[in-house]
Amino acid sequence: MGTYKDFDCGFECICSASFLFLICLSCSFPQDQYDIIEKHTQSGLELVEKYVKFVKERTEIEQNYAKQLRNLSKKYNLKRSSKDEPECRLSSYQSFLDIVNEMNDYAGQRELIAENLMMNICIDLTKYLQELKQERKTYLMEAKKAQQSLESTYKQLDNSKKRFEREWREAERAAQYAEKTDQDINATKADVEKAKQQAHMRAHVAEECKNDYAAQLQKYNKEQNQFYFTDMPLIFNKLQDLDERRVQKLAQGYILFSDTEKHVMPIIGKCLEGITKAGTNVNEKNDSMVVIEQNKSGFERPGDLEFEDYSQGINRASSDSSLGTPKGPMDLLGKNKSKNFWLFSKKSKPTVTEDFGHLPPEQRRKRLQQKLEEICKELQKEVDQSEALGKMKDVYEKNPQMGDPASLASQINQTSQNIERLRAELNKYEVILTSVCFLSSPDGAHSDESTPDASQAIYAEFDDDFEDEEVTAPIGKCTAMYNFPGASEGTISMQEGEVLAVVEEDKGDGWTRVRRNNGDEGYIPTSYVTINLNK
């Protein structure tokens, strides 16, 4: 490889802001500067690859995080079968369920972040990177081709120069030999003529080599000028533009890394607000009322025990007879003092019966009502199914091409059987509910033939003089001491300090029927109000 110190690098001022200035660092062939640019652009592409790998690992973290959050939400989410549990009506349980659902939505946003990072950064940058690699490869091949062309021209110039040098020396030697022969007195005329012809021939060959060398030199200088002032500046400018576009695209990828999460922050914020709202929705007073409603037994409180004065010699039989009709569980104390009070004793799990006889009266009544509602819904569903099958059968009969009416016979028969079964169950539970309401109402009277339940014999007291007449006119007023939401069917809401008209007294079940001035009526907890009845 040759070096030409006469090469003028006077364009440094106009290309100091580009890769071209690297050429001006040396007046030699810019192989070292070419290597620097090649390494620099390769390093830039490697940086893009490294960033894509970084973002990809971030997406994997987000995906794993979202997956763990979804599994967590699924683990603590209430199953459908457990949603009917009494606790699910409490605001604290409902708020926890809301939090679990919000976390599931939050997990969805983390998945969205991972998806957008993968699509907008990883995939997009990877595709762009492949295009840059191909473009860079093209430019480097152009530079290498121009370099090889210049090197080839230089080799031709060097060979022409050496041949000119060699031939010129031969021509000088031939000229010197011809002159010496001409001056030699012993040389013949033929020898002299031959020496001159040889010298003339060598001089002619040397002149041709000189002209060829001059032509090759002119060609090389022209190609070198083209290489340094046109070809390489153009290629370096293209590489500079490529590198700047690569940097700009990478900068956009940096910004997207942040913006991807910023775009979902409002929704994430709503999820977090939902969690906060779930906490504020917890109402301990209402939860207490729900627990009371669900577990209210309907039993009356036991009456006082009579004092047995053994010091006065009270007749034992008379004392026993006074306790023959116990008014409360304390009656058991005299017969078995080793037993704890029923309120604090550990009870064995009751045997569940079909008529819910294992439940206290009030809970039994509610459970029977719930059972009737379930049967009615199921019955209505079967009736609708029967009507639909009947219409379909009519269509098939009028249009045999649409179907065979006989194919519906089994379904119609099964539906009819289901309807009959459900109507029988409905009638059975209506009878049970009627008897329960009769026994638990103040007007209910036990017949001599019926055997009252043991719990009813102990806890239920009936007032024979109480008249169960529907009162249309108010019998007094009441003032609310606490807020009551009135969420249950048949109840009415009230605010603390609100004055309501009493239209029906508490019958022992803890509820009083009231009426607003606008005519709305419903039940409220007796313990939530102060009542003043008309005299």
Q: Which of 439, 458, 491 is the last residue of a domain?
A: 439
**Shared domain check, 401 and 482:** no
Laid out side by side, the sheet with 499-504 consists of 521-525, 511-515, 499-504, 476-480, 529-533
Q: What pLDDT band is residue 120 in, cutting at 50, 70 and 90?
A: very high
* Residue 50 vs residue 336, higher pLDDT: 50
pLDDT score of 7: 31
Same domain, 102 and 183: yes
Domain membership flag for residue 175:
yes
Q: Would 353 be classed as within a structural domain?
A: no
* Percent of the residues in the chain that have a pLDDT greater than 90, as a whole number: 41
Q: What is the 3-state secondary structure (H, E, C) of 123-151?
A: HHHHHHHHHHHHHHHHHHHHHHHHHHHHH
Residue 251 has pLDDT above 90, yes or no: yes
Instruction: Round to the nearest angstrom and report the end-to-end CA distance of the chain.
Output: 128
The CATH number covering residue 181 comes to: 1.20.1270.60
**423: Cβ contacts below 8 Å, ≥ 6 apart:** 379
Nearest 5°: CA angle at 309, between 306 and 313?
135
Please give the residue range of the domain that contains residue 103: 27-288
Determine phi and psi for 205, rounding to 5 degrees.
-60, -45
Global pTM reads: 0.54
- What values do phi and psi take at 387, rounded to 5? -65, -40
Q: What pLDDT is attached to residue 334?
A: 43
Q: Which two tokens stand for residue 68?
A: 């763990």
Query: What are the pLDDT digits (tens) for 190-220?
Result: 888 998 899 899 999 999 999 999 999 999 9
**pLDDT confidence tier of residue 313, bands split at 50, 70 and 90:** low
Residues 144 and 276 reside in one and the same domain: yes
User: Tokens 């994997």 label which residue?
Assistant: 60
Is 186 within the bounds of a domain?
A: yes
Q: What is the mean pLDDT of the chain?
A: 79
Structural domain total, the chain = 3
Q: What is the pLDDT of residue 293?
A: 78
- Of 357, 133, 389, the residue nearest 397 (C-alpha): 389
Q: Which of 367, 374, 352 is nearest to 295 (CA)?
A: 367
For residue 300, tell me if it sits in a domain: no
DSSP state string for 289-327: HHHHHHH---PPPP-PPPP--GGGT--HHHHHHHTSS-S
Tell me the average pLDDT across 371-383: 88
Residue of 15 and 432 predicted with greater confidence = 432
pLDDT of residue 35 exceeding 80: yes
Q: Are residues 267 and 134 in the same domain?
A: yes
**pLDDT one-digit tens code per residue, 134-172:** 999 999 999 999 999 999 999 999 999 999 999 999 999
Residue whose C-alpha is closest to residue 436's, from 349, 511, 363 = 363
Residue 140 CA to residue 236 CA, distance in Å, equals 9
The string of pLDDT tens digits covering residues 436-472 is 666 555 544 444 343 344 333 333 333 444 344 444 6
User: What pLDDT is stored for residue 135 in this prediction?
Assistant: 95
SS3 state of residue 443: coil
Instruction: Point out the domain boundary residue: 288, 309, 330.
Output: 288
Is the model's pLDDT at 298 over the cut of 90? no
Same domain (yes/no): 428, 519: no
pLDDT at 87: 73
**Which CATH number is 490's domain given?**
2.30.30.40
